[in-house]
Amino acid sequence: MNSIKQRTERERAERAAENEGLPTLGFDSATPYDDYVGTAVLHRLQRTVTDAPEELAFLVTTQVMELYFGLLRSEWRLAQRQLDDDDAAAAITTVKRSVRHFEALNAAWSSLSWLTPAQFNQFRDALGEASGFQSAYYRHVEFLLGIKSEAMIRPHRRNPEAYAELVDALARPSLYDSVLAFLARNGFAVPRQATERDHAAEYQPSQQVEAVWAEVYASPLAPLAEALTDLAEQFSDWRYRHLMAVRRSMGAKPGSGGSSGMTWLERSMRREIFPELWTARTLM
């Protein structure tokens, strides 16, 4: 339970005056900062399995990425609710904010960009079959971006909570589905096959939707299109940086989770999100 005592603007000013401008140094228990952030819990989560000094950076970076996956999931779900309420301005703000989160997520790859095969090999065997491919939160990110596949939820069958959430996410509309439904409700000629479809299936691009985006760019909703394009670009950057990190640290070796490694990632990069946002540019 959160034990932080709330403070008003007036109380903060009074405390600053009492302290003569210095920070408060005495507390009855843990500092309010530690209570709020949960620092003790966070730092206990770094349980390395080898003595290799490089492993801690690998583990911390991976954990940071997991936190960002959860943050992106929360933001895009919010954007979907805002679109469902036909609040385009709020949805655009949320998507733009998530682009900044994605920039920070992509920057995290810098913490692993130095990892050589010799350094990775010091702890790779100890990871067993653990692989980022198995991240349930990353799978949520992909599902929300419209990259749907029933096969990708199978690794989580032994984790009832994660599996149930992924089954639900697979069947729900993606962020792009929510955007198209919003456009249809607001007078754009989005074809019914794009809005009334099996959301668990892979989205199929449409020339009619392509034409819709060309119209959107000529309307006050153009900022929505650009915010989504920024998001798609960040996701492409994520995939590229992931591929380069793998190429640098292990080359073309098989992946820890049973995949072909680099070849698998290269194939995954070809599955584009928000496809008509890109092709519509030819019509403008």
Residues at the annotated binding site for substrate? 124
Cα–Cα distances (Å) from 282 to 106, 211, 214, 230, 269, in that order, read 29, 10, 9, 18, 22
Q: How far apart are CA 235 and CA 230, in angstroms?
A: 9
Place of tokens 């302290």: 19
Q: Which residues of 85-108 are buried (b: 16+ CB within 10 A; e: fewer)?
A: eeebeebbbbbbebbebbeebbeb
Q: How far is CA 42 from CA 32, 64, 132, in A?
A: 15, 10, 20
Show binding-site residues. Answer: 124, 242
For the chain, the C-alpha Rg in angstroms (whole number) is 23
Specify binding-site residues for heme: 242
Q: 194: helix, coil or strand?
A: helix
CA distance 163 to 252: 31
